[in-house]
Each structure stands twice: as C-alpha cells, then as structure tokens.
Structure 1
Amino acid sequence: MSLEKQKPGPAAHRLAVRGDLLDFVAAPAWGATDTPAVRFDRDHWLLIEHGHIVGRQASEPDASWAREDHAGRLILPGFIDTHVHCPQIEVLGSYGTELLDWLERYTFPAERAFADPARSRAGAELFLDALLAHGTTSAVVFPTVHKVSAEALLEGAQARGMRLITGKVLMDRHAPDGLRDDVVQAELDCRDLIARFHGQDRLAYAVTVRFAPTSTPEQLAMAGRLCREDASLYMQTHVAENRAEVEWVRQLFPEARSYLDVYERAGLLHERAVLAHGIWLDEADKRLLQDRSAQIAHSPSSNLFLGSGLFDWRGAPFNVSLASDVGGGTSLNLLRNAQDAYKIQALRGVRLTAWVALHASTRGAAEALRLGDEIGGLSAGQTADVCVWDWAVGDVAQARDAVARELHERVFAWMTLADERNLRAVYVAGRRVLHA
C-alpha cells in the first residue's frame, strides 16, 4: 500500500470507478436491517468529473472516461472522523490509566513537543497520511495549544485536498508548563488562523476548547464570543466522558446545572458544535443538545479502553457521529470503532446495525456538520471522496463472506471482520491518493 503525493486541485480527467456502490439516502431506523435508507448498486460505475461525482450507471462508460475497475469490491464514501487528536498517535496503547491520569502521564508530555514547528509539521504529515490509509478522508481534529500545530494541520490538509476542521486548542489553566496559553494571545491566534484558513479550499476553523476544566471562565467567554461573531465557525470540545471528570467540573463550576451547562452558559452550544463522548449526560442535557442541534462524537474504542462508560446511543435524541479519538482509542480505523460500538450497545442490551454505524461514519456525520451536500455520499454533485474495500481478506473472512445470505448480513460481517488491510484505494476530490 502506498500514498501518492499529489498537488491539490480538480481532477484533470473524467474518471469512472467500478464496484459495488453503497451509501445512504436517509437515516436508517434503529434495528432495521432491511431499509430503504440504504442505496446499494452492485457492479456499477461511479462517474467522477473535475473532482465531483456526476452519476452512477450499470453500463460501461464510453472511451472518453478513464476507467479503474474494482469489480467485486465494495465502494463507500470516505469516512468522516468527527473527533480525533493529531498528536496522540505516539501514545496509542498506553497502559493502566483512566482519563485524568492518562492525560497527565501520557498525553500532555506528547503534546508539549508540538511547540517545535518542525515537530508539528512532521506530526501533521504522519497523522494526515494515516487518516487516509485507514479510509478517513474528512475529519474534525484536535491539534495542541500551540498555534503552529494548527497551522501544520491546515496546511497539510490543504496540500492533500482534504476536508478538515480544526483550530488551536484553548487551555489556560490546569495544564503543565508549555501547554498553557492566555486569553489575550489565544484570541489573537484564533483570529489570525480564522482569517487565513477558514473557508479556504476545503478547510474550516473550529473554536477548540480542550475541556471545561482547562479553560478559565474568561477563556470560555472569549470562545463563546468568537462563535457568536461568526456562525459559520465550528466548536469542538469534550463533555461528560468520565465520572471523575464530571465531578471535577462540578467543583470548578458550582453555578452550572451540569457539565454541559458550562458550555451553554458560555454560548458554545450551537448547530456546529461537536462534543466528544457525552456518556454521563442526564435527560435535561440530552434535550439541550437536541434543541441546539449539536452532536456527540461517540468514541467507542476510547470509552472501552479507558473504562469511561457505555454510551447510550439508542436513547440519544441528538445527532450522533462516530469517532476514533486516538490515543484513548486504539485505532484510526472507523471500522474498528464501529465494531466496538456494537459491543457497547450489546452490553446495554440492544443491537447496533451496520446501517446505523456506517451512516454515523458517512452521511450522518456529514449532515451533523452541515456538510451533507459536499461529503458523506455517492450522489451527483458531491465531492468524490471515495474508498474502495475488499469484501474479505484471508481465508476465514472469505469463508464467512461466501455464506452471507442477504445484504445486511454481508455488510455486518465485513464491518466486523475488516480493517485497513481491506482498503484498496482512496480518492480525495477525485484524485487517487492511496492504492494497494
């Protein structure tokens, strides 16, 4: 498998890609394995022109189209990871801690190194290439508190033509030396990054509050002011991941009704707000998220690995998307996170279909980000962010695939057994950036 370094810009030719096309035309109902929300066209050609999808057809296209034949393989929209930390790749698989200890022992030391511009650039390059190599073509990303770490991510994504949402982390207390900012300089940095990158090519800026304990009320107020001034900005943070964290927030913000209410009071909850985890929310919190049209980025592998808790997906009235977190999680591959999401719901006594999990990784995530016209599907007019997967790799998976009786059974087995070894090609805006 290799990544092809290419300059950004629209594809210079008309491209037709053949395979089994799978995407969604609506949100699938919970528990439904046979649903009109799924669109599946076996052995079809996906037509791409100037980086955008222009159609799909069963018949072979004429000679004016360059053709790439992946017959017998599964073609999906590129995955959208709605919560992932760039600098945490180096702390994947760290032993023996829950959230707050894990931050102190592993994460903060790794993030401190990103003050070095060369380290930030190298880290961003590694991270962005790793996303693509795991089938993720769009992401909502945490860099570090250092302005240069956000610049490196934005510049790297721009060079690859990727859809990326990120912003300098805000963190002015309860963090070690080298990882704290201050309100005045942080605001200046945010405004500069917004002016230079927000809305440029496929980039967007997120006002990025690490989590409530590491921002003073003054910094939270500043973040809320940025959001109110420009409704096109995103906001990303963490909420109610761990019970000890929830209790810490209660002590730090005694005036707030709940952890989520801290963000509400600061003006940070809106339709472009992405909040990671959300395990320990009460019913009033859930209604508030629904009322604000915000989303929870569910990070199942991380929740299991750190022992944070079991997210109540079926009981969520708000938007839920799927995320890898990393390195609280164990893989950038959203298929592995979908596998863990199924296990979490099974422990809660319900069953997660492949359709709900994959929708939350594609169309559902795109719509929650207000980007449904651009990404998350294989419809005419959408940007051609496309991934090609082998249905089965290895004797065991091939034997399982051979006896699948209907579509959901086959896709669920693929989702459960597949990983990045199944990934055969990745296209970003119609350009092939990875092939195996």
Structure 2
Amino acid sequence: MKLLLGDLLDFTDDPSKTGLDAVRYLPDGALLIDDQGRIADRGAASDLQSKVSSSVPVYDYRGKLIIPGMIDTHVHYPQTPMIAAYGEQLLTWLTEHAFPTEEAFADYDHAAGVAETFLNELVRNGTTTALVFGTVHPQSVDAFFDKAQERNLRMICGKVMMDRNCPDALKDTAETSYAESKALIDKWHGKDRLQYAVTPRFAPTSTPEQLDACKRLLEEYPTVYMHTHTSENKKECEWVGELFPESSDYIDVYQQAGLLRRRSVLAHGIHLCDRELHALADHKCALAHCPTSNLFIGSGLFPLKRIREHNIHVGMGTDVGAGTSFSMLQTYNEAYKVQQLQGEKLSAYEGLYLATLGGARALDLEGTIGQLETGCEADLVVLDPEATDLMRFRMQHLRSEDVHEKLFALMMLGDDRAIRATWIMGENQHNR
C-alpha cells in the first residue's frame, strides 16, 4: 500500500451543468492506494496518516495538486513523426503528410519505436488513457498494444479501415479489414487494461461495404469501441455529400450504416446541424474536441455550447499529429480561446473536467478512471503550480486564494514541465 499527500482535485459531475457543486477540492488531502493499484481510501491527510501503519510508504506532494490521470479521447500515434507539418488544410494535409508517414508502419519494429516515443510523451504529459488510431497495418496495433501492455496502461486502439480514396499501400478491402480487425479484437480486447476500437478512418475512405463490415464487428463484439472522424472540415463535408448522396448529412452516413451507439466516439464535430446532434444524443455517442488540431489546420471552431445543449458527452483530444501538443493543459489553453472567439467561456474547472471525468464518460469508463474515488484505478497526476519561474511568479501575484484562479493560471501557462509525477495503476512511472 502507498499513501500520497497533496491537495486533491476532481469532479463528481459536469461543472458546466451543476456549478461548484461538481468540484471536489480537498486541501491537505491524501489518497491510500492498495496493492492492486486502486484507490482504497481518500480523506484528510491527518486522518489517513493516523489510520495506516508507519510501514506504509508516504509520498509527500503537499503544496501541489493531485488530479486523476488525464484522458485523450482522440489521437493518432503513427503521426507522431510528422507533428507540426507546415501549411495545409485537412484533405491536402492527409495526402501530403499523414498518408506518406503512415506507410512506414507496415514494419513492426518501426511501429514499436514510434509507439515507445508516443507513450513516453503521453505519460510525461500526465495522460494515462487515450483512444488511439493505428494505421491500416495490423502490426501497427500489435506494436502499440505490446508497448502499452509493458507499462500496464489503460489504452484503446484499432486498425484503420480504408478501402478507397487513399494510397494503394494503405488500402485494404471490406473483407480483409473485417478479418484483420476480428483477429486483433480476439487477441487484444480486454487483455490486461487494453481495449479495441473498430476504426473506419472517416466516411470518404470507406465504401458502404466496409461500413457494413464495421457494423458486423460491433454486433459480434458489443463491448468494443467505434472510433472515427466527422465534420472536421467544410470541404470534407461536401465530399461526403457527393460520395453518399442517399444520406441526408454526414452523421446519417454512420447512422444508416448502424455505427452509432454507446462507445461510438467521433472526433471533431465542428460543422454539425441540429439533426445530426439529435442523432448523436439519441444513440448516446460522444464527441472528441481537438482544439489545437482544429486551429492548426484551419478547420473551424467547436460549438461546445450547442453540443452541451444536446447533452452529448464530450472529451478532449490532442489529435496529434494535426494537433500540436501532447499536453492536455495546452489543449485546454487552446480550447479556452476557441470558446472566447465564439463569445463563450470555458472555465478551468470545465476544462479539467473534459480532460478527466468528461473523458471517462465519453469512453464509457466512469467508475473505472477519471476520478479520485474509492475503487477507481489509481491513475494519478501531480500538478506543480510553480513548475517554471514564470508560473511561480504568477502564483505569487494571484489576486486571491481562489482555487479556480490558481488552476486557470496553471492550465494556461503549464505544459509537460507542470507534471510533477504520473502514477499508473498505483505505480510511479514518471517524475520531474
């Protein structure tokens, strides 16, 4: 067992709906971690210290914030080598940068090396769970899961399914994508902390026959995820209309194909109409908000207020490599600005909720991760509000002792340097 001391901060609900009642802040708190890597107890540090044996190791993070491990609900690990590629919008960016980079993942050793770097970056940035795109190659998923399993990480990944409108080297067929995905599900889904996502890249790169193969997989394996893109770019939306003239809109393509349900997570969702939002809500789907990507390749501004009004679960995604940072703190930084540009606000509490409990709800994992709650897996992050000289200076000039003011400054100025420690299932895997 282990005892961690620090200021505890997590959420019991969405603060955009229930306000401060959703915020659970305990200064001078403590977490007791059991020998299975779960949270056994939480409370005041003085209370828990008096309860446990003096032989229990104590990790003293007093003066720092202990939060749940952060959750990235949309990211492409194979695009790590071409993060920050200059100068294009979505469709050209795919053909000029993403597709050529992904061709190299036919080689397992290459994929394993990139997966190692990718997971290092996640853990260093305090991200303990992610919903991840592989490439069309099954070995890209094998390599990723091998590396994630070594670290005992809770990760979700899937083989990309693309049978048209892509280079021949990245093209599969409806039947081969079905067979390869099925074999990967049988091999990996539910193994240790790993789960599988059926992963059609987006509607333009799948024929109706391949989307039907996705549906077959979801029917045969009801606990897997469905992970794809939607309504990221206006030209993309027009292209979908040309390719699927029988569908009333982008979401209707997935709806007619039978791919919308709980555990369906769709990235972006910037240009959705009300009918599409109703459909997502009715089918209990989730959206991944990826602000650094949306700004970097000029896709548009995520309409968070409209989406909240439809009670759709939203998580935060970095979307590396169109996204420009692995840091969920920096992702909030950009999400805040995206709302400002629309005349809306996104508080630090709301942003941290999206990166923790909101992400867990989007992934249907509430009660497992995303909270500092008894019984939850002890994926934890320690945030240092004074990680840099500028952050320390800013904390000295706060106008009040208000926790939100402190958290907002930390999340706007913080990056990987603000991650003092990352704990995975009760084991300390990163220290700064």
TM range (shorter): over 0.9
Q: What residue is the counterpart of 2:405 in the other structure? A: 409
Corresponding residue number in structure 2 for 1:6: none
Q: CA–CA distance in 2 between the matches of 1:307 and 1:63?
A: 56
1:177, CA displacement in angstroms?
2.2
- In structure 1, what is the equivalent of residue 203 of structure 2? 212
- Letter matched to residue 407 of structure 1: V
Question: Does structure 2 retain, via aligned residues, the 8 Å contact 1:225–1:267?
Answer: no
Per the TM alignment, residue 158 of structure 1 is displaced from its structure 2 partner at its CA by: 1.3
DSSP 3-state at the match of 2:306: coil
The answer to whether structure 1 residue 277 and structure 2 residue 268 are counterparts is yes
- Do 1:228 and 1:267's aligned partners in 2 also have CA atoms closer than 8 Å? no
Inter-partner Cα distance in structure 2 for 1:372 and 1:289: 19
Do the aligned partners of 1:208 and 1:237 also contact (CA within 8 Å) in 2? yes
Mapped contact 1:427–1:433 kept (Cα < 8 A): yes
Aligned pairs for 1:11-410 within 5 A? 14-29=1-16, 35-50=20-35, 51-58=37-44, 59=46, 60=49, 61-316=52-307, 317=310, 318-404=312-398, 405=400, 406-410=402-406
Higher helix proportion (structure 1 or 2):
2
Code of the residue aligned with 1:420 in structure 2: it is D
Distance in 2 (CA, whole Å) between partners of 1:365 and 1:92 is: 23
Secondary structure of the 1:384 match is coil
1:368, distance to aligned residue in structure 2 (A): 2.1
Q: CA deviation at 1:182?
A: 1.2
**1:430 maps onto 2:407 in alignment:** no
Distance 1:294 1:193 in 2: 23
Deviation at 1:401, TM superposition (A): 1.4
What percent identity do the matched residue pairs reach? Answer: 45
Letter in 2 for 1:433: Q
What is the number of equivalent residue pairs in this alignment? Answer: 421
- Tell me which moved more, 424-433 or 50-59: 50-59
- AA aligned opposite 1:383: E
Amino acid at match of 1:377: Q
* Range with greater deviation from structure 2 (77-86 or 180-189): 180-189
CA contact (8 A) 2:158 2:199 kept: yes
**Mapped contact 2:313–2:361 kept (Cα < 8 A):** no
Instruction: Name the amino acid aligned to 2:409.
Output: A
Report the 3-state secondary structure (helix = DSSP H, G, I; strand = E; otherwise coil) of the residue aligned with 1:41: strand
Provide the C-alpha distance between the structure 1 equivalents of 2:21 and 2:53, rounded to a whole number of angstroms. Answer: 31
Structure 1 CA distance for aligned equivalents of residues 313 and 431 of structure 2 = 33
Give 1:29 shift: 2.1
Q: How far did 1:424 drift?
A: 1.2
Gaps of 5+ in 2: none
Contact 2:159–2:198 (Cα < 8 Å) also in 1: yes
After TM superposition, give the deviation of residue 62 of structure 1 in Å: 3.4
Q: Which amino acid aligns with 1:319?
A: H
Quote the RMSD (CA, aligned, Å).
Answer: 1.1
* Distance in 2, Cα, partners of 1:204 & 1:44: 32
> CA shift at 1:64, angstroms?
3.1
CA apart distance, 1:396: 2.5
TM-score by length of 2: 0.96
Deviations along 1:178-226, one digit per CA (max 9) or x if unpaired, are 1111122211111111111111111111100100101111001100111
